[in-house]
């Protein structure tokens, strides 16, 4: 007998952690912390497929609000898509995702978003590949070449996002992303929860200070056995966001701390000034989207045009067109 539904208890959620641990290389704690330290987490967002009462597959919806041209759209990030090897090729993952999409439609989600290396799997359920940011490498030589022109009055210190720097960081992030479609709307709880992660690359936020004012922030990660990555950055309006400004100071000072070697990987909005300093720029691969409730885009007359999967596809393509420079910072990926 097949049963597809949200998890019914904390005990069943624990079994999902076991399943994800068995399927993915990240380790059980990664999946547990991601949900346990999210104050907005609800059991109804974790879905399972049970076959004759055995837990066979599990998937997670990561709900959040995103900016979209003055509107706030509820997005369902899809992650942790996993079926135990002995239950694969029976349609379980597709059925689970299909049910999650129905649930999200009923609960007012406007858009589904996911990151994957197997796009064909999701295309079968109407998901479309979309552009969302530029990936590149920042060469050490360029960062250090810009160093001599940097403002010596700017100094660097670690942030305390759960304490005295919380309001300033929230403000800086909001200003930086106010006009950037698809960025996550974050509140105070978001920044506080971030501190509880033990994943080191998500913990440390560095600030560029001019006297007592925070003029920029930078998060650099060094995931296990992967190259150093520029995870996120923000600059106060009025300051130069290229290597010649406070981000240049931060990168120069933190290069050694991040053990970055000759280059640092970065994922940035297409129009970010740092993109010009990078090499090998290419569209970030593997992002897919599905429009769940066209009416959430109701300021946008195009939703009335949707009368078939083909028009929905065209609408998705337009909503993610490069000219819009939509983006989701890696900290918010799922």
Ligand X SMILES: CC(C)(COP(=O)(O)OP(=O)(O)OC[C@H]1O[C@@H](n2cnc3c(N)ncnc32)[C@H](O)[C@@H]1OP(=O)(O)O)[C@@H](O)C(=O)NCCC(=O)NCCS
Nearest distance from C-beta of residue 78 to ligand X, angstroms:
8
Q: Which of 120/307 has CB closer to ligand X? A: 120
Q: How many Å separate Cα 224 from the centre of its chain?
A: 19
Q: Which of 81/218 has CB closer to ligand X? A: 81
Nearest distance from C-beta of residue 79 to ligand X, angstroms:
8
Nearest distance from C-beta of residue 113 to ligand X, angstroms:
12
User: What is the spatial distance between Cα 84 and Cα 323, in angstroms, rounded to a whole number?
Assistant: 41
User: What is the spatial distance between Cα 244 and Cα 254, in angstroms, rounded to a whole number?
Assistant: 15
φ/ψ of residue 205, rounded to 5: -115, 130
Q: Which of 93/104 has CB closer to ligand X? A: 93
Q: Which of 90/196 has CB closer to ligand X? A: 90
Q: Which of 91/261 has CB closer to ligand X? A: 91
Nearest distance from C-beta of residue 285 to ligand X, angstroms:
12
What residue ranges bind ligand X (CB under 6 A)? Answer: 23, 57, 81-83, 88-94, 116, 118, 120-121
Nearest distance from C-beta of residue 305 to ligand X, angstroms:
30
Q: Which of 114/260 has CB closer to ligand X? A: 114
Nearest distance from C-beta of residue 229 to ligand X, angstroms:
20
């Amino acid at each position: 007998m097949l049963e597809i539904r949200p998890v019914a208890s904390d005990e069943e959620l624990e079994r999902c952690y076991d399943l994800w641990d068995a399927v993915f290389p990240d380790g059980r704690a990664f999946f547990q912390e991601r949900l346990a330290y999210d104050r907005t987490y609800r059991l109804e967002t974790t879905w399972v497929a049970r076959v004759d009462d055995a837990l066979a597959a599990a998937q997670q919806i990561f709900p959040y609000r995103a900016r979209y041209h003055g509107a706030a759209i509820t997005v369902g990030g899809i992650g942790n898509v996993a079926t135990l090897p002995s239950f694969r090729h029976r349609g379980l993952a597709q059925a689970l995702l299909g049910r999650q999409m129905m649930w999200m439609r009923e609960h007012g989600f406007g858009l589904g978003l996911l990151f994957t290396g197997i796009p064909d799997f999701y295309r079968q359920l109407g998901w479309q590949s979309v552009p969302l940011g530029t990936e590149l490498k920042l060469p050490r030589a360029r960062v250090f070449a810009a160093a001599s022109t940097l403002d010596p009055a700017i100094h660097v210190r670690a942030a305390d996002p759960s304490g005295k720097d919380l309001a300033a960081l929230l403000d800086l992030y909001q200003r930086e992303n106010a006009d950037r479609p698809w960025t996550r709307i974050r509140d105070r709880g978001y920044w506080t929860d971030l501190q509880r992660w033990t994943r080191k690359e998500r913990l440390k936020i560095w600030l560029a200070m001019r006297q007592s004012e925070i003029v920029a922030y930078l998060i650099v990660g060094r995931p296990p056995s992967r190259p150093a990555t520029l995870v996120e950055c923000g600059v106060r309006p009025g300051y130069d966001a290229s290597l010649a400004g406070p981000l240049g100071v931060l990168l120069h000072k933190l290069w050694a701390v991040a053990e970055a070697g000759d280059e640092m990987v970065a994922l940035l909005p297409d129009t970010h000034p740092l993109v010009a300093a990078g090499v090998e720029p290419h569209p970030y691969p593997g992002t897919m989207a599905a429009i769940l409730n066209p009416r959430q885009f109701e300021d946008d007359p195009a939703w009335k045009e949707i009368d078939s999967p083909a028009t929905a596809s065209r609408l998705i393509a337009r909503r993610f067109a490069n000219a819009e420079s939509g983006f989701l910072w890696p900290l918010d990926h799922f």
